[in-house]
Amino acid sequence: MRQFSVKVLDDKDREFVEVLRDLGIPRNVASMITYLANVEEASSREIEIGSNLRQPEVSIAMRTLRNNDWVEEREIKKDGKGRPMKVYRLVISLEDIISHFEDEKRRESTKAMENIERLKDLCGRLSCS
């Protein structure tokens, strides 16, 4: 039997995940970003173990990271037969990811305030009490 070690998220990392979640980021995406920010690169299995995510959650989160061009994927050929192992790494800094969410929340806030102003205007025309 082979043995290997995997980094796991600690309390500080879990706090980072929770703050991302408070911003509306799905748990799996928040956990994946946090985990990959703490390692140079990781396989899907290492991500599953280290971030306490199930394989389907890793796949779904990986799709989000790929769609944003935040992650690079490469394959490592295994000895013998079988599929190559995929290894992932962040290609963008955490600061840039945070800026992305900051911009996104700023746009959402601006849109919400525009809608509130529009409601006030409509209410004035409808003689709301």
pLDDT tens sequence across 38-90: 999 999 999 999 999 999 999 999 999 999 999 999 988 877 777 888 899 99
The pLDDT score that the predictor gives to residue 5 is: 77
Beta strands in 8-128 (DSSP E): 42-43, 71-76, 85-90
Whole-number pLDDT of residue 53: 94
Whether residue 86 sits in one domain with residue 97: no
85 and 98 inside one domain: no
Q: How many domains does the chain have?
A: 2
* 128/75 same-domain check: no
Do 41 and 6 fall within a single domain? yes
Let me know whether 85 and 116 are in one domain: no
Residues 58 and 113 in one domain: no
Whether 103 and 76 map to the same domain: the answer is no
Say what the pLDDT of residue 129 is: 62
Angle between helices 44-51 and 27-37 (to 10 degrees): 110
CATH number at residue 35: 1.10.10.10
Q: What is the Cα–Cα distance from 47 to 31, expressed in whole angstroms?
A: 9
Q: Which domain holds residue 104?
A: 93-129
Domain match, 120 and 85 both: no
